[in-house]
Amino acid sequence: MFKKFGKFTFLIFGVLLLYPIISLADMSSSTYRIYADVISIGGGTFSSSTYSLNGTLGEPTIGIITSSTYEIKGGFQYVEISEDGDTATISLDMSSSTLNLGDLSTSTVSQATTTATITTDSGTGFTLTISEVDGVGLDAVGDGTVTAGSEEYGVAVTGTYAYFLDNDLSVENRTLAQSSGIVTADETDVTFKASISSTSTLGVTYTQTITFTASVNP
């Protein structure tokens, strides 16, 4: 028999880049002279009963720089803004962290589903992607359908904001769902499917670790 799939993990990473700004000044009195000093970083969180302010000293120019392969959101104070003008938030919950496709056969297509539930108050919406894939799988589906009797492996997506419906490749940077506005507890079903052929190698166990990432849109 042919067994496939094991543990899935879901990680979201955030990175803050701080760029120090140097400030120089010449200070003196009748008893001393300081030729130059350096202010490398400053700021903090200030609040009262009616407001909260995150401040920095030496904030560089903020903005978005993109190419075909990357996106940089520059500036320590760069934030996503919700529709009402506040800082945007996003949450991602996966219904299953481990999926098992069981023993594969030539007569059926094995499948397993996990549901991604996303909530965001960002006015620009969200994007759900497969951001990382570790491990070796079967031959990727090439015709849009995982068919019994053929060695194929792919992923299908269903939901209001599904990016595609038919079986597609389970590879890094694959967009699964995308909205253009605020969503509350939106559910996207992600179904992994696999089948084997009469010429597939038997007695092999395949395991992959899949990382899902949900982010607010720029």
pTM for the model stands at 0.62
Q: What are 21-61's pLDDT values in tens digits?
A: 444 455 677 777 666 666 555 666 666 777 666 666 665 55
Q: Which two tokens stand for residue 207?
A: 């395991």
Main-chain dihedrals φ then ψ at residue 7, nearest 5 degrees: -80, 140
Unique residue bearing structure tokens 């969503």: 183
70-105: b (≥16 Cβ within 10 Å) or e: eeeeebbeeebebeeeeebebebebeeeebebeebe
pLDDT of 175 reads: 92
Percent of the chain with pLDDT over 70: 65
First and final C-alpha spacing in the chain? 47
Q: What are 158-204's pLDDT values in tens digits?
A: 999 999 877 777 777 889 999 999 999 999 999 999 999 998 888 88
pLDDT of 207 reads: 85
Domain 2-11+88-216, CATH: 2.60.40
Q: Is 50 exceeded by the pLDDT of residue 1?
A: no
pLDDT of 71 reads: 63
Unique residue bearing structure tokens 């949900």: 214
